């Protein structure tokens, strides 16, 4: 699978600024990738039927990225390959007062799908070690001294461990968490921001605060590399994929989702003999009508 090239499973550290943001040689072959994406989307739909019927595993797809990397359009596109029945999308925004009065995994846990279902997380609990860390937001939280007096570094190292433990807990309980980071370049982000400002239909996507975050681009990149290195494991790796060309990002995401579904589909549940006999009886009754 092409996406394997972008996999981090914890064995090697992730240094974001050294990783590709563009499609590289694939740019010579765009039509090939477009048709492969279409085939993957079709396969995802087929696999999802089996996954839903099998109902033994749940899938959580986490999309993380800096602004304008294409999270929203990836969600829209990936959803296009799936049956809306059996999929939910959650966008994790700034936490509400109610959310902040709970542990940081609370709101994510409430958004888990049942087994047989898929949840797409547009941002996730990873914000609680990214934006929170970059802006030191934990200092504004109402938490007991024993949790905060350990200092900034230890506070986030604990959260990395809590996330690893949580993801292992999910894995051991029949969930797969597919973690995808859309890696956009600073230049492409600028281009997309300008497009949002210039195109009236895209104005709503831009806010002046996006520029404040952009000014912290390099700091985010450093923290993101650390977070990925600390939370990538063999059962629950990260995929850091180039995001400067949306068609390539979509191709890789469609490959990853199809692969996760393939691995989560065990078989269509076979009915016991008695239930099969009942079905045959129903069939006879239907055929005997009129």
Which of Mg ion, ligand AMP, none has residue 128 at its interface (CB below 5 to 8 Å by kind)? ligand AMP
Sheet holding 7-8, edge to edge: 7-8, 238-242, 175-183, 58-65, 118-122, 87-91
Burial (CB count <10 Å: 0-12, 13-18, 19+), residue 1: exposed
**Nearest residue to 228 (alpha-carbon basis) of 17, 38, 23:** 17
**Closest CB to Mg ion among 67 and 226?**
67
CB of 131 to ligand AMP, least distance (A): 4
**Closest CB to ligand AMP among 49 and 213?**
213
Alpha helices in the chain (DSSP H): 30-54, 71-79, 97-100, 106-110, 131-134, 145-148, 152-172, 186-198, 209-214, 217-231, 246-264, 273-288
**Closest CB to Mg ion among 8 and 193?**
193
- 72-111 residues in contact with ligand AMP (CB under 6 A) are 92-95
Distance, in Å, from the CA atom of 160 to the CA atom of 141, rounded to the nearest integer, reads 18
**Closest CB to ligand AMP among 54 and 210?**
210
CB of 231 to ligand AMP, least distance (A): 16
**Closest CB to ligand AMP among 46 and 212?**
212
CB of 165 to ligand AMP, least distance (A): 19
Which of ligand AMP, Mg ion, none has residue 132 at its interface (CB below 5 to 8 Å by kind)? ligand AMP
Distance, in Å, from the CA atom of 210 to the CA atom of 136, rounded to the nearest integer, reads 18
Give the x-and-dash track for 53-72 against Mg ion (CB under 5 A): --------------x-----
CB of 243 to Mg ion, least distance (A): 15
SS3 33: helix
Interface with ligand AMP: number of residues (CB under 6 A): 10
**Closest CB to Mg ion among 21 and 189?**
189
CB of 92 to ligand AMP, least distance (A): 5
CB of 213 to ligand AMP, least distance (A): 7
- 120-149 residues in contact with ligand AMP (CB under 6 A) are 123, 127-128, 131-132, 137
Helices then strands (H, E): number in the chain? Answer: 12, 6
Contacts of residue 84, Cβ cutoff 8 Å, sequence gap at least 6: none
**Closest CB to ligand AMP among 123 and 164?**
123
**89 φ, ψ (degrees, to nearest 5):** -120, 130
CB of 189 to ligand AMP, least distance (A): 13
Each residue of 183-214: b (16+ CB within 10 Å) or e? Answer: bbbeebbeebbeebeeeeeeeebbeeeeeebb
| Binding positions for ligand AMP, rule: CB under 6 A | 92-95, 123, 127-128, 131-132, 137
| Binding positions for Mg ion, rule: CB under 5 A | 67
């Amino acid at each position: 699978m092409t996406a394997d090239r972008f996999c981090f499973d914890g064995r090697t550290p992730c240094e974001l600024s050294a990783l590709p943001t563009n499609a590289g040689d694939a740019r010579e072959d765009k039509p090939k990738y477009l048709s492969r994406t279409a085939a993957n989307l079709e396969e995802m739909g087929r696999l999802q039927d089996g996954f839903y019927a099998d109902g033994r595993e749940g899938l959580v797809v986490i999309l993380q990225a800096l602004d304008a990397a294409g999270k929203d359009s990836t969600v829209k596109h990936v959803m296009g390959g799936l049956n809306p029945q059996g999929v939910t999308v959650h966008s994790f925004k700034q936490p509400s007062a109610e959310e902040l009065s709970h542990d940081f995994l609370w709101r994510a846990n409430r958004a888990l799908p049942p087994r047989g279902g898929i949840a797409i997380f547009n941002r996730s609990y990873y914000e609680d070690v990214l934006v929170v860390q970059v802006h030191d937001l934990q200092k504004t939280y109402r938490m007991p001294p024993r949790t905060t007096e350990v200092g900034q570094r230890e506070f986030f190292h604990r959260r990395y461990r809590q996330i690893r433990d949580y993801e292992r807990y999910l894995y051991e309980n029949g969930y797969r968490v597919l973690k995808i980071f859309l890696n956009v370049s600073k230049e492409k982000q600028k281009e997309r921001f300008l497009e949002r400002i210039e195109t009236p239909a895209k104005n709503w996507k831009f806010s002046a605060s996006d520029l404040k975050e952009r000014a912290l681009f390099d700091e985010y990149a450093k923290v993101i590399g650390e977070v990925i290195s600390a939370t990538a494991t063999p059962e629950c790796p990260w995929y850091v994929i180039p995001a400067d060309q949306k068609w390539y990002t979509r191709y890789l995401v469609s490959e990853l989702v199809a692969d996760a579904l393939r691995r989560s589909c065990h078989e269509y549940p076979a009915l016991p003999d008695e239930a099969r006999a009942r079905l045959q009886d129903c069939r006879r009754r239907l055929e005997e009508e009129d």
